[in-house]
Structure 1
């Protein structure tokens, strides 16, 4: 089947939609903003109807710009954001708890004796970041009515009437048996969710149903969690390479092949994708605040936005001894301390905006470098290259800092919307099973390659300063 597809990436701060033609590339695009609420105590939620409206608005704008019919629809989602909803009406019963939300800490505390068992079963550590603790919290504190699922299942149901989730998204719940890529009765029982009506776990590329929400009937044929979709767009499919997406957070994924890796580096193991019933796996590490940390600096008036990073950072040669641990929503992998708050140290009367910008870039890059090292440790060999995408890759300062601290080349994607392009590739594959995954993937040529400009000793010194501040945070915080 040939023809354009509509690829929709429903993200934390907005929804991006592309109309992608296999011969001509992107021929239409649309964007609709989403505004999550950040509340005291690490609470982050969003109105589910705003998510659905953003999907429709972005999709309609992309189609209007393309002015061509599409043959299939692909939908990418946030991954660990959950809500309760009425399956008869499709209406939400609760707000959506965003992946950054920490209110399910109490659930994790109660399950602490089973943490090792859950990690062995599902590949994921016990942490409120994942979907299952939030689902259990909703059942304990909000409602026993309706269904409780990740947002993708609700969006798909609203679009098509089907009750499904893809294997990669299901792998972000801590309810999926990692080795079998199906729901784990034991994990469900531990979370008190054994009696729930759960979505059917489907492949990432198959015909799910049809929707008329964008006009003429369109088959939905591609589903994926956002980071795995970007992995496909970046053509990172074999062990040895990794990709990192710099969005609201920064997320590094490294393929492990047909077998999940259960290393002790602190990274999680999850489904990369499942096609024709066959699962492929990857390691995954998370930096909870990247663009959201830049937005925080913007809200303070230090910069006017992400576009200012390079210009303001260029006003000084270095961070001036300032170290920033941007754990503004906690520390993710490999520490898994979502309860921690960030730190900004080494300040003086001579500290200016440029020093803060450079310290922020170093803080983000240092965390990503820790994730890359952890992936290399689990894989048994250092990563060769890091391929990067996402909005913050427009900052040359951030990417040069990343190459410097990583001491590896950093290849910048020429594809500004990798997640949407990745789920678009899955939609093509689901619409035309005669294609291979490689056939469906977009062409990939880096827009730029950043090489390290500092020595390994200098990189080690800068990363050592960052690690020292992380250690200080860990030492001060209650266990």
Structure 2
């Protein structure tokens, strides 16, 4: 949703490497536009941060090339497949160039980012037929476009206000459906489009943890574990984190703090600290950040629906339920994003279809109930918040 590149619209040939969502090179763009941060947030629903597409697009234009077009990768891929130059409404809402209320490109945002002369793709609905392609043999229709997290929200059947899901992949991403009007506020969460179907736009709140599986990879590179499949074995060798607190801000802190400049921290280490304690502390650090996002929703949540590769870790999921003090239901399909996009494709390919018929019945593979008291959960969260506060104090904005 936020990865961008410049490319030749006539040939589809990339003119630059892709700048992925974790690329922070556009920090300088955000610093220059800091006086307009509040205006941009009110207009687009997004905080000024290089995580989103527009700062990276502006950086490419300033530092790499003025040739071709510069877009998110979906527009490039669809052009290569079908010849159409389009993007879906949900992806457009992740650029920081979309007027969130009008669901149109914003001339004001484009002007602020120095992109007023760009030829941007046409915005279409998420299940709208795009065209056809012969790239895979016989001619087949192309339909069903979405951001990965919004697709997972759909797959988890969070289609009405009041529900939320969290996907645990490279990062962890919490999305909550907010209905047919965007909900802006000061909680630190992002307001964007969930999907646009048959002309009706649904909105969501979105919160990000920059490092989840990428933090697991970091521990793997250090030799602490052999991979994500080791989390339960190594973490299960000890009953708790042994007083170790890990703020895994290895690529900065995202929502609700939005401090991409911060570094992670490990505190409470001793000569008796083992690999198991580090794994436990990592799981608690990821889970604690997700709880902060749930709190930022400022609305009741009975159950958290989860998906993604890291949901295979029973230790992480139990830790999440413990700190959240609510049940956690694990999707039977870890890669829920694929299911959500498939449902959109089915809606676009079949006339008369509905979301209810396009999606299979939802049957969780596992359900985790809290096993610790509310007081203990509050104590663990307080330790985590204390370390975040210390990080913020050491590195003023």
TM-score (norm: length of structure 1)? 0.82
In the alignment, what sits opposite 1:430?
348
Displacement after TM superposition at 1:442 (Å)? 2.4
In the alignment, what sits opposite 1:320?
242
Residue 266 of structure 1 pairs with residue 188 of structure 2: yes
1-side partners of 2:63 and 2:199: how far apart?
36
Residue 135 of structure 1 pairs with residue 57 of structure 2: yes
In the alignment, what sits opposite 1:410?
328
Gaps in structure 1 of 5+ consecutive residues:
1-78
More strand by share: 1
Residue 368 of structure 1 pairs with residue 290 of structure 2: yes
1-side partners of 2:361 and 2:140: how far apart?
25
Displacement after TM superposition at 1:461 (Å)? 0.3
Residue 468 of structure 1 pairs with residue 358 of structure 2: no
In the alignment, what sits opposite 1:242?
164
Alignment match of 2:367 (pick from 449, 457, 463): 449
- Give secondary structure in 2 for the equivalent of 1:223: coil
Alignment match of 1:223 (pick from 145, 149, 154): 145
Displacement after TM superposition at 1:478 (Å)? 3.3
Residue 86 of structure 1 pairs with residue 86 of structure 2: no
2-side partners of 1:264 and 1:237: how far apart?
24
- Give secondary structure in 2 for the equivalent of 1:222: coil
- Give secondary structure in 2 for the equivalent of 1:271: strand
Displacement after TM superposition at 1:106 (Å)? 0.4
Per-residue CA distance 1:110-164 (angstroms, 9 max, x = gap): 1001000000000000000000000000000100000000011001111111110
Displacement after TM superposition at 1:276 (Å)? 1.4
In the alignment, what sits opposite 1:33?
none
Residue 383 of structure 1 pairs with residue 301 of structure 2: yes
Displacement after TM superposition at 1:89 (Å)? 1.1
Alignment match of 1:287 (pick from 188, 202, 209): 209
2-side partners of 1:151 and 1:88: how far apart?
16
In the alignment, what sits opposite 1:185?
107
2-side partners of 1:257 and 1:249: how far apart?
25
Residue 156 of structure 1 pairs with residue 78 of structure 2: yes
- Give secondary structure in 1 for the equivalent of 2:123: strand
2-side partners of 1:197 and 1:311: how far apart?
52
TM-score (norm: length of structure 2)? 0.99
User: Runs of 4+ in structure 1 displaced over 4 angstroms?
Assistant: none
Per-residue CA distance 1:238-263 (angstroms, 9 max, x = gap): 12210000001000000000011012
In the alignment, what sits opposite 1:34?
none
Aligned residues: 397
Report the RMSD for the aligned CA atoms in angstroms: 0.7
1-side partners of 2:342 and 2:294: how far apart?
27
- Give secondary structure in 2 for the equivalent of 1:354: helix
Q: How does 1:348-363 map to 2 (within 5 A)?
A: 348-363=270-285
1-side partners of 2:360 and 2:70: how far apart?
34
Displacement after TM superposition at 1:416 (Å)? 2.1
In the alignment, what sits opposite 1:419?
337
Residue 107 of structure 1 pairs with residue 34 of structure 2: no
Displacement after TM superposition at 1:433 (Å)? 3.0
Per-residue CA distance 1:312-364 (angstroms, 9 max, x = gap): 01110100010000001110000000111111111111000000000000000
Displacement after TM superposition at 1:432 (Å)? 1.2
